[in-house]
Amino acid sequence: MKRLLLVGAGHAHAQVLLDLAQSPIPGVEVTVVSPHSLAPYSGMVPGWLAGLYSFDEIVIDFSRLCAAAGARWMQGELDSLDTQQRSMRLNTGEQVGYDILSLNVGSTLQPPSMVGAEVLALRPLSELRKGYESLLARWQASASDRDFTVTAVGGGAAGFESLLAVVQRLRTLQPQRRVHGRLVTRGNTLLPSVSAMARRAATSALADAGIQVQLGTDWSESAGASSDLVLWATGAQAHAWQTDPARRGALAVSSSGFIRVDEQLRSVSQPQVFAVGDCCEWANPLPKAGVYAVRMGPVLIHNLRAALAVAGVAGVEGGRPFRPQHQFLALLATGSGRAIASRGVLGAEGRWVWRWKDHIDRSFIRRFAIGNASD
């Protein structure tokens, strides 16, 4: 009996489990480890923050998906790896062995401690729910009429979308209270990865919402002191175990701690280990964007089957390379039933873009509903 261990409830692993539900692998024991069974789909998080979706509408239920795939789901987090013994230690103290290991654990953020302001880190997404729902409960129960300031730190898609969504949500829940918004980024350009047309639309959306933008500005204690809520959306960081040589074993990582992989999504140092999504990195790093994790899914499925040497599956004699697109469609929610589209030099904005985005996102999440496993 071979052992396939999937660590992390990411977008690529959801596709692996869906594939296993449709075409089980005889003689392979599959175990999935994640801290939470409900995994939010990153593309729909801004809509949830804005109140356009309930939390249940944006999640993939990994425990039910595991049941459909004949896999075992374990609640826990990776604490350390023993790559020589092919064993993983969980934060619960349990040891789990593997023949093939796949890591889809995403990334994290480590915001600085602040005085006066509440901080919500946008990564990991699985931890965001508790803090945000607590904030909303206190906001609705508050009788204060004091002005409230929300500051997003980070000029990428996460900072832009989350700030507009949260400001819109708070204003809707308490329209009599003034909510100010501010976006702070050390970069000199807002949303540097989108087209100039899309960037102009994004700048207009922030202006229409009365949000102040501070480019070329490092975070400071004074900015925290003048904020009530800080949305921390800076660049992705590796998990603590990835940056600790004693905890990651012989797994090769980049200078930032991200797992080094080849074009087949394999660890460059441990061929029995695969890594996908934000937790991994090539020699020429890709942006940390959910679209790559989604598109890695089919390649990971093929290469895991090849690594497990399953008879009767086409192409098991070799791995398939992942060829990332240099241009991809980016759809950014603006928190008010509108969205911005960007691809290459093109850009567009409007309610129709939101409807398009909503259709794409709902279609993706619907694939993993237990009753739609054959779709």
- pLDDT tens-digit readout, 330-350: 999 998 899 999 999 999 999
Q: Is the pTM higher than 0.95?
A: no
Residue 314 has pLDDT above 50, yes or no: no
Residue 312 has pLDDT above 60, yes or no: no
What's the chain's Rg over C-alpha atoms? Answer: 21
Residue 65 has pLDDT above 80, yes or no: yes
Residue 230 has pLDDT above 50, yes or no: yes
Q: Facing residues of 33 across strands?
A: 7, 74
Confidence label for 311 from pLDDT (cuts 50, 70 and 90): very low
Do the domains 2-108+237-324 and 118-234 sit in the same CATH topology, yes or no?
Answer: yes
CB burial of residue 105 (10 Å; 0-12, 13-18, 19+): buried
pLDDT at 225: 81
pLDDT at 183: 97
Q: What is the mean pLDDT of the chain?
A: 91
pLDDT at 316: 41
212 compared with 126, residue with greater pLDDT: 212
Q: For residue range 175-216, what is the model confidence (pLDDT) as tens digits?
A: 999 999 999 999 999 999 899 999 999 999 999 999 999 999
Q: What's the rounded mean pLDDT across residues 87-92?
A: 95
pLDDT at 174: 95
pLDDT at 371: 52
Q: What topology does CATH give the domain 2-108+237-324?
A: FAD/NAD(P)-binding domain (3.50.50)
Of 10-19, 100-109, 116-125, 220-229, give the lowest mean pLDDT range. 220-229
pLDDT at 327: 77
Residue 375 has pLDDT above 80, yes or no: no
Residue 285 has pLDDT above 90, yes or no: no
Q: In what order do the strands lie in the sheet with 95-97?
A: 78-82, 87-90, 95-97
Q: Where are the domains of the chain?
A: 2-108+237-324, 118-234
Q: Which of the residue ranges 125-134, 170-179, 222-231, 307-316 has the most confident prediction, judged by mean pLDDT?
A: 170-179
**Of the options 3.30.499.10, 3.50.50.60, 3.40.50.2000, 3.40.50.300, the CATH number for the domain spanning 118-234:** 3.50.50.60
pLDDT at 112: 84
Residue with tokens 């992942």: 322
Contact predicate 347/198, CB 8 Å:
yes
For the stretch 17-21, contacts whose Cβ atoms lie closer than 8 Å and that sit 24 or more positions apart, written own/partner, are 17/62, 17/65, 17/66, 17/68, 17/69, 17/71, 18/65, 18/69, 18/367, 18/368, 18/373, 19/301, 20/69, 20/70, 20/71, 21/65, 21/68, 21/69, 21/70, 21/373
Confidence label for 251 from pLDDT (cuts 50, 70 and 90): very high
